């Protein structure tokens, strides 16, 4: 997804693009980033496994320069939707996403 094509969600476009790309990459079958629903349950709607959730969160934190150590086990468990992930990233972001 091109950085200028993020859906208008009120969330930083660079963060949203990075999260959509990272989630899309770990899904099997892969879902195009622009087709991911922000409020869909990632496990229920996209069959995101716990291992793939860890891979997704690790990648998106690296891509957005957010330290994964900022999040507690409870924080991670509460990240059920892409919107939840984006809201958590936003709290710890310095707007450095690529």
Structure confidence at residue 8 (pLDDT): 53
Q: Is the pLDDT of residue 6 over 50?
A: no
- Run of H or E including 14: helix 13-26
Is residue 96 within 8 A of residue 65, CB to CB? The reply is: yes
In the three-class reduction of DSSP (H, G, I as helix; E, B as strand; rest coil), residue 44 is classed as helix
Query: Tens of pLDDT along 24-41?
Result: 999 999 999 999 999 999
Structure confidence at residue 55 (pLDDT): 97
Q: Is the pLDDT of residue 97 over 60?
A: no
Q: Is the pLDDT of residue 50 over 60?
A: yes
Nearest CA to 38 among 84, 3, 74, 91?
84
Query: Tens of pLDDT along 59-75?
Result: 999 999 999 999 999 99
């Amino acid at each position: 997804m091109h950085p200028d094509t993020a859906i208008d969600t009120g969330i930083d476009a660079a963060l949203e693009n990075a999260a959509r790309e990272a989630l899309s990459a770990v899904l099997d079958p892969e879902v195009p980033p622009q087709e991911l629903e922000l409020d869909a349950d990632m496990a229920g709607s996209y069959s995101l496994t716990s291992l793939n959730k860890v891979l997704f969160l690790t990648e998106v934190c690296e891509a957005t320069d957010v330290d994964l150590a900022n999040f507690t086990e409870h924080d991670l468990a509460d990240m059920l939707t892409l919107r939840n992930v984006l809201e958590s990233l936003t709290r710890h972001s310095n707007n450095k996403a690529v």
